[in-house]
Amino acid sequence: MKTIIVVMILAGSALMVYNIYGFIRFARFIKNQKTWGDNNRILYLPIILLVMFLIGYLIVGLFGNPDIIMAGILLGGSIFVFVMYRMLNGITVRILENERLEADLLASERSSQEKSEFLATISHEMRTPLNVILGMDKKALNQPDLPESVREPLLKIGYSANHLLSLINNILDMQQIESGTFMIREEPFSMKDSMNQVNAIAGTLSENKGLTFKTSLCDEINGTYLGDASHLRQVLLSILDNAVKYTEVPGTVTFKVSCEPSDGVSAFSFRIEDTGIGMSEAFLPKLFDVFTREDTSTTNKYSGSGMSLAVAKNMVDQMNGTVTVESEKGKGSVFTVTVPLKRIETAEPAEEHPEGVLAGHRVLIVEDIHENAEIVSDLLSLEGVTTEIAENGQVALEMFEQSPGDYYDAILMDLRMPVMDGLEATRRIRVLNRDDAKRVPIIALTANAFDSDIKQSFDAGMNAHMAKPTDADLLYAELRKVF
């Protein structure tokens, strides 16, 4: 029995020595964190107490006559201190790890915010000169008796500028998708208007390349649906643009829209078929990966970043839709986009807007860059619209205040301007004590093209948002809506 008692006391003493060593390491660890400052002296108090306990163990073991109960108490005390030390050490490490992870998360969020702000600035700075290039190019192409030797270079300038714009849009869209800031909007829209716009653009692309463009639209497009018309058009045009790009003359691109209505929700199917170069079966699983192209050789004559289809696929996924593809090398491809949309109104086929419907209206253009204002003014003058220009939000507010009631039929508002920006100008116009201030259509026409910019525009009281560079057809269509 005495041997057991001695062993228990020696074991308790040895464990207490380990506890003291552990607490010394723990105190140094906390001190190195430099979070306690001068208060870290208190960390040595447990060490002093444990040393005193150890001395007491040794005195009892050497000079006392402990029984089995006393030995058990001494050993149990060492075990208790050991367990408490391990728990305290584990809790402290967990807290510090959580603090580190939280600091990393905050740093990541700050980095993401800085990246978004940087991209927003770059987007604005790149779209602004592109707006001038495309606007001036279109203005020059509209000149009567333009020599063919001049028209051809102007067309190439326009194609190149639009290609650059497409690349910018894809980069920004992918950044928003990856950062989780991309938003799908749920707004009423006319499917027929949207498909007519898609047909007009895709038809022009095909015609310019010498391809045959065929289209077939189902009767269900004559109605109002709830969804994101802008991003749906972007998806379809990205695929159609690829179909045109990879189809050689004489070739055909076919765009077919069908629909299966069911319980208020219509499953729209958009089929895009081409007779182009096609893709191998091995490449199809990689088709929607970012920056992926089947032919990456330096002799490949087809340019592109390999981003547009990846962006389109992500957008369709967020619309709760699907994208499928069938293709065979040398025989063309078939893309099918299926998107469910809620029908909110049964409508007869929309009456086409008569020519000159914009004529006679007056629009206030709020734009701080003179060239941009001049481009928009020239585009509107082609439709018989009278325009006035304000160089910033403050001037626009004063011009509106000094005008008679219902003088302006619409306001095209830039967002980023000196003196007073477009958001503040819109808010101040909306609270003016006059009836037309509440109902005058205000459309954001800006290089600020992020989803957050669109949300801010609507929150400020605007009726619509359009991104620069200014697309004449889309501008006319938007004005027809608000008029």
142 domain residue, yes or no: yes
Same domain, 340 and 192: yes
Among 117, 144, 178, which residue terminates a domain?
A: 178
> Cis bond leading into 46, ω under 30°?
no
Q: How many angstroms separate the CA atoms of 325 and 283, rounded? A: 11
Same domain, 331 and 402: no
Which amino acid would we find at residue 375? I
Same domain, 159 and 194: no
Hey, CA dihedral for 68, 73, 78, 79, is it positive or negative? positive
Q: How many angstroms separate the CA atoms of 474 and 467, rounded? A: 10
Distances (CA, A) of 117 to 113, 180, 276, 422: 6, 15, 40, 18
At 462, phi and psi to the nearest 5?
A: -80, 160
Among 80, 107, 134, which residue terminates a domain?
A: 107
Same domain, 99 and 84: yes
pLDDT digits (tens, 9 = 90+) for 336-359: 999 999 988 544 444 444 545 798
Same domain, 93 and 65: yes
Q: Which of 440, 467, 478, 481 is nearest to 130 (CA)?
A: 467
113 domain residue, yes or no: no
Neighbours of 103 (CB within 10 A): 10
CATH number, domain containing residue 211: 3.30.565.10
Total domain count for the chain?
Answer: 4
414 domain residue, yes or no: yes
115 domain residue, yes or no: no
Burial of 335 (0-12, 13-18, 19+ CB in 10 A): buried
Task: Name the token pair of 238.
Answer: 């990205």
Contact 422, 415 (CB under 8 A): yes
Same domain, 170 and 43: no
388 domain residue, yes or no: yes
Contact 132, 371 (CB under 8 A): yes
120 domain residue, yes or no: no
Same domain, 172 and 189: no
pLDDT digits (tens, 9 = 90+) for 3-28: 787 788 778 788 888 888 888 877 77
Who's near 151: CB < 8 A, 6+ residues apart? 141
Task: Name the token pair of 402.
Answer: 């000094």
Same domain, 431 and 469: yes
Q: How many angstroms separate the CA atoms of 316 and 288, rounded? A: 12
Does the structure show a pLDDT above 60 at 462? yes
Q: Which of 249, 155, 254 is nearest to 209 (CA)?
A: 249
432 domain residue, yes or no: yes
Does the structure show a pLDDT above 90 at 179? no
pTM of the predicted protein model: 0.56
Mean pLDDT computed over 220-231? 88
Same domain, 20 and 151: no
Same domain, 88 and 36: yes
Q: How many angstroms separate the CA atoms of 438 and 30, rounded? A: 62
Does the structure show a pLDDT above 80 at 325? yes
Distances (CA, A) of 323 to 235, 280, 335, 338: 10, 18, 7, 7
Same domain, 213 and 300: yes
pLDDT above 70: percentage of residues in the chain: 88
H or E segment at 260? strand 252-262
pLDDT score at 300: 46
Does the structure show a pLDDT above 90 at 457? yes
Does the structure show a pLDDT above 50 at 167? yes
Does the structure show a pLDDT above 50 at 241? yes
Which amino acid would we find at residue 212? T
CATH number, domain containing residue 384: 3.40.50.2300
Range of the domain at 419: 362-482
Neighbours of 177 (CB within 10 A): 18
234 domain residue, yes or no: yes
Among 289, 313, 346, which residue terminates a domain?
A: 346
Same domain, 142 and 217: no
Task: Name the token pair of 27.
Answer: 């105190």
pLDDT digits (tens, 9 = 90+) for 429-450: 999 999 999 999 999 998 877 7
Q: Which of helix, strand or coil describes residue 252?
A: strand
